[in-house]
Structure 1
């Protein structure tokens, strides 16, 4: 007689008649990958880092150009540099550039923020010479043709208008003003009217003055020979040799704790909570402990914030905390979006979790879970060519290199529970934070006033 098989759901699959199937023990922690790389400053002053990662026959390019400016109109002009950079050069139009990249399975894109202009590209490894030729042409001969420029400007104005209708954009801009007042870092998105007034000649002038090799860094990761790749860059980009040094963002003010600011958004059905405090950069010996303390608080799905205000209270779909890095420093950010009626309650629970973390040392199990997540996610991010290229580009911006990256898993492994507790007590106290609450003041002000620590409009 044939036995009848019954369906086993996910809960039963992990069990036997004797009970739950035991999980195998965790293996030893792997260190960062050994990297075959070359690192050289070429004659123009451009630093070039080339890394062999031969997992697939492609190559990734990341060119970081410091691109800060103190002029209030710099943000609008810089956005137009990034938006219109690929519209054509003195040699080729937009379609010709696209065709050239398509022939090597490649693409190029440009983005900008208050710190830097980033030119990113990828291609088949056999097409690296063509990719470098296109990038060199964009750097030295970008034309910003009037007609194409006008179309890109119109699209950018529309995108800004749409973005400014989004609650998260409103919250981000309010937080930046609260943290940095009129510092250039607070101008992450230009005003639509400022963009509409930018001319092609404004952008050509900014490109000539600020798109500079000295102080910039180009990272190549892929199926390549590192030394030969740097030689290829030196040859292809030899004409990009203007005088001067790319402009770094001025130092940011140190954050100090003060009341949150309630930003009125009449009729809003949700509120955005954004809290921020000063942290330490990756170069600080306390950084690994701060990183783990942040993970315990809200840095991954098994964190305290998620367990409290998402899983237990049901106030939000997502709650998180993370570290945001600048060239010389770092800040902590805690954020969540909640329905209007639980705004004060969610802020109370957020403050409670900050106070609990800083006053009650995290359990060993919590720290170990955060440690495994930190090491595992780092190693996974470095397995891909794009992930490794992006990570190395970010590290070089703060004066770190591949050796720091390779040694970071060991630093995380060495952090003790006492060090995490000290970091939590130093950096995560509720009084160290400032920030904003964006919501309908008519609905949330009374309860926030009763809660205290919030500046009302």
Structure 2
């Protein structure tokens, strides 16, 4: 045997012979900051913001055309209109039928779809880099010339009604619906779905009016991420397709008027339910609030996964529920934090006590060093992994631009997470997690669970709709 081979074999044997402490997880190496690829921003004469980001890892280009036109801009009597507009944008234009659009997208290896969140309506797509110009052709045609064919409008309305019926059959939907209504009051954030009546009111005219009011260049950001042509060439592609788009005054966003958080207990009566769906929470810190990162980390410790306090106690130790977690719902103008679980009717009282106890404990006692280290590593690592795909990178940059976040939000995210200290988490928990001013919404059979719920306050009973 050659001496070099013998040396390698001997070294391997010695390493294998070393004692490994398998009771401790391996140390997590330092997690780096995300390094943003070069970004170039400009604005066309009509007010369209253009963001170009070079990502040469893949022969792809991702496009996001986003408008401040989410569901918070729905008319008061027509919740769900933004979602209807988004879903119908790609169903036909003045010169292309739905089938024409689908065939052209398929022929260039592209996708293009509309979606709406509470704040933003987005046309999102991707394509092989060599076909970037063609995808921009189709994106511009859809944004400027969608004609919302009457047959497609009626089909979409019918499908949305069927989807709404399915949603309303789920107690988890009813709980979230009532929880948001309690927290956000008269603000449009209170609506998480259309109603049957609002769907009936939607027609081609109202859809076109919404499009004409909000889908305008001075209310939009166009983001291109990927293997782009040169900067000047890319900008020319954009200007040729979007430059003639006419600027218009844009309606103001609804006022940021939200009710003060207070303790209240609402029971949505759903006769025959064998379990209770529980939401406990209140308004919270948005991404631009100084309390955001301490709350983000604290929320993960409380109920952010299978290693969290809620999951380990309510599910693993007590066996009250299949799932117990906490959520941080972040929007542009407000946020909400909630502990959520579904428990058997016979354990509603001890399960409520357990969840409320954990919410109180977050405010009373500093988190442990091990908990804090593990959660910081998890949040930071998951964040970096989420930016590995081009689509996710495009979505995150789009988030920064549409939510009014600092330009260094992505690059500084892990640094800000890892700088959170136990006293900051405790302070944020006193403001947002301590249950004294939290709303409690429960969906279940009132004849079975109203009495045990009375221990936690005056119960306001409403019939499930």
TM-score (norm 1): 0.91
Partner SS state of residue 61, structure 2: strand
Please list, as runs of the form range in 1=range in 2, the aligned pairs for 1:259-408 lying within 5 A after superposition: 259-408=264-413
TM-score (norm 2): 0.89
After superposition, the C-alpha distances for 1:60-94 in whole angstroms (9 at most, x for unaligned) are 22222112436323324333312222221111101
The whole-number CA distance in structure 2 between the counterparts of 1:115 and 1:226 is 32
The whole-number CA distance in structure 2 between the counterparts of 1:400 and 1:44 is 23
Q: Is the 8 A contact 1:66 1:249 kept in 2?
A: no
Cα deviation, residue 23, structure 1: 4.6
Cα deviation, residue 262, structure 1: 1.0
After superposition, the C-alpha distances for 1:109-136 in whole angstroms (9 at most, x for unaligned) are 1122442222111111222111111111
Is 1:135 aligned with 2:139?
Answer: yes
Is 1:146 aligned with 2:150?
Answer: yes
Please list, as runs of the form range in 1=range in 2, the aligned pairs for 1:72-111 lying within 5 A after superposition: 72-111=76-115
Is 1:223 aligned with 2:240?
Answer: no
Cα deviation, residue 148, structure 1: 2.5
Please list, as runs of the form range in 1=range in 2, the aligned pairs for 1:2-41 lying within 5 A after superposition: 20=22, 23-41=25-43
Partner SS state of residue 75, structure 1: coil
Partner of 1:429: 434
Q: Is the 8 A contact 1:65 1:246 kept in 2?
A: no
Cα deviation, residue 285, structure 1: 2.6
Cα deviation, residue 408, structure 1: 1.7
Cα deviation, residue 235, structure 1: 2.4
After superposition, the C-alpha distances for 1:126-151 in whole angstroms (9 at most, x for unaligned) are 22111111111111111111222222
Change (3 A) 1:65 1:74: farther
Cα deviation, residue 47, structure 1: 1.7
Cα deviation, residue 354, structure 1: 0.5
Change (3 A) 1:144 1:259: same
RMSD: 2.3
Partner SS state of residue 341, structure 2: strand
The whole-number CA distance in structure 2 between the counterparts of 1:61 and 1:276 is 36
Partner SS state of residue 61, structure 1: strand
Q: Which moved more, 1:330-339 or 1:245-254?
A: 245-254
Partner of 2:13: none
Please list, as runs of the form range in 1=range in 2, the aligned pairs for 1:173-212 lying within 5 A after superposition: 173-212=177-216
Change (3 A) 1:168 1:15: farther
Partner SS state of residue 333, structure 2: coil
The whole-number CA distance in structure 2 between the counterparts of 1:226 and 1:279 is 43
Change (3 A) 1:259 1:15: farther
The whole-number CA distance in structure 2 between the counterparts of 1:437 and 1:412 is 33
Partner SS state of residue 110, structure 1: strand
The whole-number CA distance in structure 2 between the counterparts of 1:236 and 1:402 is 27
Change (3 A) 1:206 1:427: closer
The runs of 5 or more residues in structure 2 that have no matched partner are: 1-15
Match of 2:414 among 405, 409, 418: 409
Change (3 A) 1:429 1:34: same
Change (3 A) 1:15 1:48: farther
Q: Is the 8 A contact 1:38 1:226 kept in 2?
A: no
Partner of 2:454: 449
Q: Is the 8 A contact 1:213 1:245 kept in 2?
A: no
Cα deviation, residue 435, structure 1: 3.4
Q: Is the 8 A contact 2:137 2:241 kept in 1?
A: yes
Change (3 A) 1:232 1:319: farther
Partner SS state of residue 245, structure 1: coil
Is 1:250 aligned with 2:252?
Answer: no
Q: Which moved more, 1:271-280 or 1:395-404?
A: 395-404
Cα deviation, residue 181, structure 1: 2.6
The whole-number CA distance in structure 1 between the counterparts of 2:423 and 2:301 is 14
Change (3 A) 1:314 1:209: same
Q: Which moved more, 1:132-141 or 1:228-237?
A: 228-237
Partner SS state of residue 322, structure 2: coil
Cα deviation, residue 246, structure 1: 5.9
- Equivalent pairs, count: 444
The whole-number CA distance in structure 2 between the counterparts of 1:277 and 1:456 is 20
Q: Is the 8 A contact 1:46 1:217 kept in 2?
A: yes
Change (3 A) 1:322 1:15: farther
Q: Is the 8 A contact 2:78 2:201 kept in 1?
A: no
Cα deviation, residue 317, structure 1: 1.8
The whole-number CA distance in structure 2 between the counterparts of 1:62 and 1:252 is 30
Q: Is the 8 A contact 2:78 2:199 kept in 1?
A: no
Cα deviation, residue 231, structure 1: 3.9
Cα deviation, residue 225, structure 1: 4.8
Change (3 A) 1:288 1:79: closer
